[in-house]
Copies of this chain bind each other. A is one copy, B any other.
């Protein structure tokens, strides 16, 4: 059983690295097996298809993310608007670390996959949408609390949270295209200026 868990997580880790640093279509099952030193038969025992693997990679990354810097950023002990600064800082340092190591900014795995596969795979699209919606809900709670404490004037918290998530993905996209994590640091703080009013 220990051996099984090891093999599965070795496949997962390898696929996550390769999908993130390149793309989903560009990385085949054979390359993943070779890099993870796993036989194809063993691969298909854990993941009947490449899509099943991608679902597990997204799940795995979303868990790490939710319990890692997203949990830290959206810590209820921080004043609401400071959580947004924390989130931007975390995205910046994380992208910068990868750039320093590999010379290339990888961007957000979820954003990368969303643009690559959304028109072609409804199952993966739905999974990525669910991950985005969960993150949006953290922004939403933050904006609701910011309204309660008077840190911001009344606004449409759900729509503003969507706007903030979209902006975060957008600045990571632009930073990746320029291969320059400083774009995140420069543009990031403006996330706090986004406002969508309530409809009457």
Task: Verify A116–B118 contact, CB threshold 8 A.
Answer: no
Report chain B residues within 8 Å CB of A60.
Answer: none
Q: Say whether A71 faces chain B, with CB atoms less than 8 Å apart.
A: no
Q: Say whether A166 faces chain B, with CB atoms less than 8 Å apart.
A: yes
Separation of A173 and B112 alpha carbons in the complex (Å): 9
A131 closest partner in B (C-beta): B177
The 6 closest A-B pairs by CB, nearest first: A170-B170, A25-B25, A166-B170, A114-B177, A104-B119, A166-B174
* B132, B170, B176, B190: the one within 8 Å of A118 (CB): B176
Separation of A166 and B106 alpha carbons in the complex (Å): 16
Separation of A196 and B193 alpha carbons in the complex (Å): 9
Quick one: given A120-B22, A195-B190, are A128 and B163 in contact (CB under 8 Å)? no
Chain A residues proximal to chain B, CB less than 8 Å: 21-23, 25-26, 104-107, 111-112, 114-120, 125, 128-129, 132, 159-160, 162-163, 165-171, 173-174, 176-179, 183, 186-187, 189-190, 193-196
Task: Verify A163–B178 contact, CB threshold 8 A.
Answer: no
Report chain B residues within 8 Å CB of A176.
Answer: 114-115, 118-119
A21 closest partner in B (C-beta): B119
Report chain B residues within 8 Å CB of A174.
Answer: 132, 162, 165-166, 169
* B22, B114, B183: the one within 8 Å of A162 (CB): B183
